[in-house]
Amino acid sequence: MSSTNELQQTIADMVDDHRGILAADESLPTIEKRFEAINVTATEANRCAYRSLLLATPGLGEYISGVILFEETLGQTDENQIPLPKTAKAQKIVPGVKVDKGKGPLAGAPGDLITYGLDGLENRLEEYKKQGARFAKWREVYPITQHNPTPLGRQANAEMLARYAAVCQEAGLVPIVEPEVLMDGDHDIGRCATVTELVLHAVFHALHRHGISFEHMILKPNMVLPGKGCRLAEPREVAEATLRVLSRTVPAAVPSINFLSGGQEPEEATANLNAINQMKGNAPWQLSISYGRALQQPALQAWQGKPENREKAQQALLRRARLNSLARQGKYDPSMENEDD
C-alpha cells in the first residue's frame, strides 16, 4: 500500500460524524500528578493497568475512533499478554502515539517555548509503526502575555509542526498537528481569539511551505476561551469566537478539527463542543474532540487504583464519551449530566 493510500485509510477510519479521539498520552510527570491526586503511585504496572482498562472499556469504539498513546504504552500488554494497541484495534479504535519530547524556552524570544524531538523522528516512527501506530501527535504551546507569543515564537513553533508533519506523512502516518494557545493568565476571550488566529495563520503557512497534504492531517487546536483568571465565557460566546477564527484560518481540505480540552472541566468542554456544533452551519470540517483529562477525569476518580473499581471506571469513561458524541452532533443538554445511564 502506498503512503497516500495508508494516510487516506487512516483518515477514513478516524473521521466520522459522531466519534472523537481519546488522548491517553500523558508524559511521566503528568500522569504522576494525575495519580497523586487519587493517592496512587505512578509505577509502570499501575500506568499499564489504568491505560489497559481505558482501552478495554466495552463499547468505547462506538464513541471513540482513535487513541493517542504514550510511547511506553505501545509496548505494553494487558493481563492476558495482549498488546495494548491490539486491544484498541479490537474495538475499531485506531492507535496513535505522541512523538514530541517535551518543551523548553525558545532562545531569542523570552516567554515563548519550543518543543523538542525532531532528531531521530524518522527512525522512531518506523518503530512505532511496527508496534501498531497509524498516526502521530506533536504539541507546540503558546503562552499568552502582553508580549507573547512573539512573531519569532509563532514562526519557530509553526516550523516545528510543519517539519514533524512532513516526516509523518512520508512515513505513512497521519499527523495530528496541535498548536495550543494556553488558558493560563487573565486575558479575555478577545485576546485569545487574536492570538489563536495569528498562530493558526502561521501554522498553515508553514504546513503549505513544507508540502503537507491537508487532506491527510488532523488539526488539534484550542477552543477560543478566556484565561483562567478571567470570567467564564458562555458556550455560545466560545462557539462564535472559535468558529470565526477557524473560518479565517483553516483550509476546507482539512477533514477534521479535534479540539483539545485545555484545562476545561469535563462538563464545560462538552457544553462548548455542543454549542460549536449547533452553530457550525456549513463548516467544511468535522468538529470533534481529542480530549484527555476532560474524558478521563471521571474514570480516574472512579478507579482510585483499585482493581475492583475497574468496571466502575470504564462506565464513567463510556458515559463521558457518549455525552461528547452527542455534543459532536449538537444533541447534548446539560440536564443529561444528571441522568442515570
List pLDDT tens digits, range 50-81.
Answer: 999 999 999 999 999 999 999 999 999 999 99
Average pLDDT over residues 194-220: 98
The cell numbers describing 99, all together, are: 512523538
At residue 23, φ and ψ (nearest 5 deg) are -90, 110
Confidence of residue 261 (pLDDT cuts 50, 70, 90): very high
Q: Strands, E, within the chain: which ranges?
A: 20-24, 64-69, 94-98, 103-105, 113-115, 135-142, 174-181, 218-219, 256-259, 286-291
**pLDDT the model gives residue 338:** 87
Confidence of residue 304 (pLDDT cuts 50, 70, 90): very high
Task: Give the predicted TM-score (pTM) of the model.
Answer: 0.97
Specify the DSSP element, H or E, that contains 206.
Answer: helix 189-209
% of the chain beyond a pLDDT of 70? 99
pLDDT at 310 over 70: yes
Query: Taking a C-beta distance cutoff of 8 angstroms, is the pair 84, 74 a contact?
Result: yes
Q: Which amino acid is at 327?
A: A
Query: Taking a C-beta distance cutoff of 8 angstroms, is the pair 129, 3 a contact?
Result: no
178 is known as an active-site residue? yes
Distances (CA, A) of 150 to 166, 204, 207: 24, 17, 19
Q: What are the residue ranges spanned by the domains of the chain?
A: 3-338
Dump pLDDT digits (tens) for 267-290: 999 999 999 999 999 999 999 999
- Mention the CATH class of domain 3-338: alpha beta
The span from the CA of 42 to the CA of 53, in Å, is 15
pLDDT at 47 over 70: yes
pLDDT at 17 over 90: yes
**pLDDT the model gives residue 339:** 79
Cis upstream peptide for 149 (omega within 30°)? yes
Q: Which amino acid is at 101?
A: K
CA-based nearest residue to 165, from 110, 118, 223: 118
The span from the CA of 298 to the CA of 313, in Å, is 7
**pLDDT the model gives residue 192:** 97
**pLDDT the model gives residue 251:** 98
Cα 277-282-286 angle, rounded to 5 deg: 50
Dump pLDDT digits (tens) for 30-40: 999 999 999 99
**pLDDT the model gives residue 341:** 59
CA-based nearest residue to 324, from 296, 284, 282: 296
- The mean pLDDT value of the chain amounts to 96
Q: 3-class SS at 159?
A: helix
The span from the CA of 181 to the CA of 317, in Å, is 26
C-alpha R_g of the chain: 19
Active-site entry in 26, 220, 240, 280: 220
Query: Taking a C-beta distance cutoff of 8 angstroms, is the pair 146, 96 a contact?
Result: no
Average pLDDT over residues 92-119: 97
Query: Taking a C-beta distance cutoff of 8 angstroms, is the pair 236, 294 a contact?
Result: no
Dump pLDDT digits (tens) for 123-136: 999 999 999 999 99
220 is known as an active-site residue? yes
Residue 228 half-sphere exposure toward CB, CA atoms < 13 A: 10
Dump pLDDT digits (tens) for 214-254: 999 999 999 999 999 888 899 999 999 999 999 999 999 99
Confidence of residue 154 (pLDDT cuts 50, 70, 90): very high
CA-based nearest residue to 55, from 95, 88, 81, 79: 88
Q: Which residue has the cell 504514550?
A: 70
Burial 90-125 (b: 16+ CB within 10 A, else e): ebebbbbbbbbbeeeebeebeebbbbebeeebeebb
Active-site entry in 6, 26, 178, 240: 178
% of the chain beyond a pLDDT of 90? 96
